[in-house]
Amino acid sequence: MGEGDQSAGVGSVVEIACECGRSACAEVIALPWCVYEEAQKEPRRLLLAPGHELPGASALVRCDSFVVVSSEERLRRRI
Ligand SMILES: [Zn+2]
């Protein structure tokens, strides 16, 4: 819907399902391809809809349409 037509160069937008893991979540988020690609290189990165942040995960990027978090905390051993 609307103005999806900025085809030139700056970078395309990818739409993915929110990765918060809640079974009831049906959010689709749109984010720049470069952000998506970078997150794929980091297995601990999760791409979430705003407001779907997980407790204990620190937000690396936060904007109107998506949030990038690192779930590292969960995997790190407790001292
Ligand atoms: Zn979600």
22-64 confidence digits (pLDDT tens): 999 999 999 999 999 999 999 889 999 999 998 878 899 999 9
Distance 4 CA to ligand 1 centre (A): 24
Size of the chain, expressed as the number of residues it contains: 79
Q: Does residue 7 have a pLDDT over 60? A: no
What pTM does this model have? 0.74
Higher-pLDDT residue of 2, 45: 45
Q: Check if the beta carbon of residue 6 is closer than 8 Å to that of residue 30.
A: no
Has residue 3 got a pLDDT over 90? no
State the Cα–Cα distance between residues 74 and 56, nearest whole angstrom: 7
Tell me which residues have their CB within 5 A of the ion that is ligand 1.
18, 20, 25, 27, 49, 52
Q: How far apart are CA 43 and CA 54, in angstroms?
A: 16
Domain residue limits, the chain: 13-75
Tell me, in angstroms, the distance from the centre of ligand 1 to residue 7's CA. Answer: 28
The tokens of 68 are what? 């990038």
Cross-strand bridge partners of residue 61: 68
**Cα 68 to middle of ligand 1, angstroms:** 12
